[in-house]
Amino acid sequence: MAGPSAEDVKVLGLSLSPFVIRVRIALRLKRVEYELVEVRITEPKSEILVKSNPVYKKIPVLLHRGKPICESAVIVQYIDEEWTDGGGSSSILPADPFDRAIARFWAAYIDIKLPAPVRALRFETEAAKEVELAEQIRQALGLLEEAFVECGKGKGFFGGDAVGYVDIALGSYLGWMMALEKAKSVKLLDAEKLPRLAGWAERFLAEESVKGLVPDADEYQKFYAAAAARTSATPA
């Protein structure tokens, strides 16, 4: 692999986190070896996390030669700019300034529109509210269905011929969405209503840079079942 050894690059986070998944995909695209350091994100949080990200104390954090870079969007851009040594890796952000601005816009849109309803749907138990939250997610995806035409320019990915910045931003949520579809019996990426995104999702998950990094629905369900069991066992 190109780039520094795993001793130079560490990712602080958890394998199920969509934000950590982004960083790991970007590093794989750039053929950079790294070590995933799993940290505790509930109190008391891991000392290395608090020390590396004293402002937000959140994952992910990229440690490159001991220096921390925080926030997944910032980290992915850093990776794209840092590892451009011609080792056969592709660029993550578009070269054209306008296309790059559009990619950043839609990645920011994803982080504004998706996290809240996805998180709320995970814990919602009332059927009517589940339907409402699922519709919020579908509406957000509907605009991305249209954006795919502009960004992808008729190719297979938002990044064109290859996985790019918006692909990473949205693709990191696919595991969560598949888990919600299974657990809540709702359809989010409906192939009839969102044919472009449904086809894109299949291609994205089949990419070598992605395989094994986006957990399947069963892994998420096991995680939440274990978390629920721990919560119920905790004394009041």
pLDDT in tens, 49-68: 999 999 999 999 999 999 99
Neighbour order of strands in the sheet with 9-13: 35-38, 9-13, 61-64, 67-70
- Summarised one tens digit per residue, pLDDT across range 82-115 is 998 655 557 999 999 999 999 999 999 999 999 9
Residue 235: the pLDDT is: 55
The CATH code of the domain at 9-82 is 3.40.30.10
Architecture label for domain 97-220: Up-down Bundle (1.20)
- Summarised one tens digit per residue, pLDDT across range 72-87 is 999 999 999 999 865 5
Residue 126: CB atoms within 10 Å: 9
The domains of the chain are located at: 9-82, 97-220
DSSP letters along 95-155, please?
Answer: SSHHHHHHHHHHHHHHHHHSHHHHHHHHH---HHHHHHHHHHHHHHHHHHHHHHHHHHTTS
Does position 46 have pLDDT exceeding 90, yes or no? yes
Amino acid residing at 141:
L
Across 178-207, b (16+ Cβ under 10 Å) vs e yields bbbbebbebebbeeeebeebeebbeebbeb
C-alpha of 178 from chain center:
13
Radius of gyration of the chain (CA): 18
| Residue-averaged pLDDT of the chain | 92
CA distance 217 to 108: 25
**E runs forming strands in the chain:** 9-13, 35-38, 61-64, 67-70
CA distance 14 to 4: 22
**H or E segment at 75?**
helix 72-82
**The total number of residues written for the chain in this structure:** 236
- pTM (2 decimals)? 0.92
